[in-house]
Amino acid sequence: RDRKHRQRLQPINLDIGTVMLVTFCLVPYAAGEAVHVALVADGDTRRIDPSTLSPRQVRLAQLESQAKTLIGTKMSPDAKQVIDQILLPTITNDIEAEISKEFFTVQQQLKDMVAALEGSTQQTTAAKSTADSLDMQLDTCRSNEKAALEANEQCNLDRTAKIASDAAQCQALHATALEKCEEKNGAADVTFPSLCAPTQCNLANGNLCNMAAFAAAVQAMQSQVQEKNDEYVSMVQGCSDADHNASEFCAAAEQYAASDPCTELEQQAQEKQVECESDFGSAKVAICAFGTSLQGMYTDWEAVQSFIAKVKGENRTDSLSESDRQLEWEAVQRLSCLLEALRDEGDLSEEAATSCAANRTYPHTFDYLDEEIAALTSSLNFTWGDTLMTFSGYWWTVGSTASEF
């Protein structure tokens, strides 16, 4: 308490009954002196700096110092009473209980962290399933979008080809009609050889002036005229039919060219494009959401691994190391055995204390939850450190035409 003259406390030679009560706060250590970790056994080379001792290790060192102070000293009833009523109960009720409490606290911490990892894994698994589903939906939509574009493009190709074909056929039909009508017009004029009826005759000849021959010639001419007329009438009908057919076909061709039979297909392609763009956005959001969830899961996994590494570590200043706890338990048991031997004026050798402590094994087995953690990290079919994830397995390049898909 003297701020001006700080001096390190030195051992005080007092009556044995008094020193047991005083040395809780009179623990001498030379500056820079390496001390045993919680009464380590002979041959144990583990040493740490005194400044890194945990409160419990300091308490163990104090109890050890007290026990060593008593070694070789004749036990008085008061000293034995101190051992029975103060030191041993302190070991059992405080230190051992604290070690067990610490064990269960650390074990529960790991369970809570693994539970958090399980929660984030389930969330990530669900996010992966959603991302897979939406990306597969996008893949299907892109296939349908390409098919819709192909149908529309083929329709336009067919329409263009039909318009060109109809125009050529219309022109050919008009040419045929013109030819037939010109042929009809040419067939209207018919030329026949002249027929000359006799202007005089001698009835005495008895042949009626050869009128029978003239009548036969007229009849022949009439037959020729009828034949020519029939041909002409047929040509007139052919001209009319050809002109009608040409006009009717060309009118239908013009109507088709003026219409657009591909409009519905074009609209379907546009609607599919809008649908796929929406699916694309949903799929990308789902993939990003999965990525965020995966990062959270990885953070939980790293926390679990880091925590386990600390629990498996040694010479820690915190309360996580299981091996430190076990060593402290062993040290406590050796100290307890030493105090009991001291009280009973029995064997005070290190070997006797170690043999006694060996029968008081550490009562806890730490569960590192290896199977649970392995099951969680394998649920995604994912190896930690992977940088690529597969969803539908396809990435579409798109454009304004089917050939660009």
Q: How far is CA 281 from CA 76, 324, 368, 401, in A?
A: 86, 54, 42, 21
Which of 10-19, 78-87, 259-268 shows the lowest mean pLDDT across its residues?
Answer: 10-19
Average pLDDT over residues 341-350: 79
Confidence of residue 41 (pLDDT cuts 50, 70, 90): very low
Confidence of residue 49 (pLDDT cuts 50, 70, 90): low
Confidence of residue 19 (pLDDT cuts 50, 70, 90): very low
Confidence of residue 79 (pLDDT cuts 50, 70, 90): confident
State if pTM tops 0.75.
no
Residue 177 pLDDT exceeds 90? yes
DSSP codes joined into one string, 9-21: -------HHHHHH
Q: Which two structure tokens, joined as six digits, stand for 4?
A: 């001006």
**Predicted local confidence at residue 118, as pLDDT:** 93
Average pLDDT over residues 304-332: 90
Q: How far is CA 371 from CA 45, 114, 118, 129, in A?
A: 34, 11, 12, 24
Average pLDDT over residues 303-327: 91
41, 354 Cβ separation under 8 angstroms:
yes
331, 108 Cβ separation under 8 angstroms:
no
Residue 122 pLDDT exceeds 80? yes
**Predicted local confidence at residue 40, as pLDDT:** 44
Query: In the chain, pLDDT over 70 holds for what percent of residues?
Result: 81
pLDDT tens digits along 94-120: 889 999 999 999 999 999 999 999 999
Average pLDDT over residues 382-388: 71
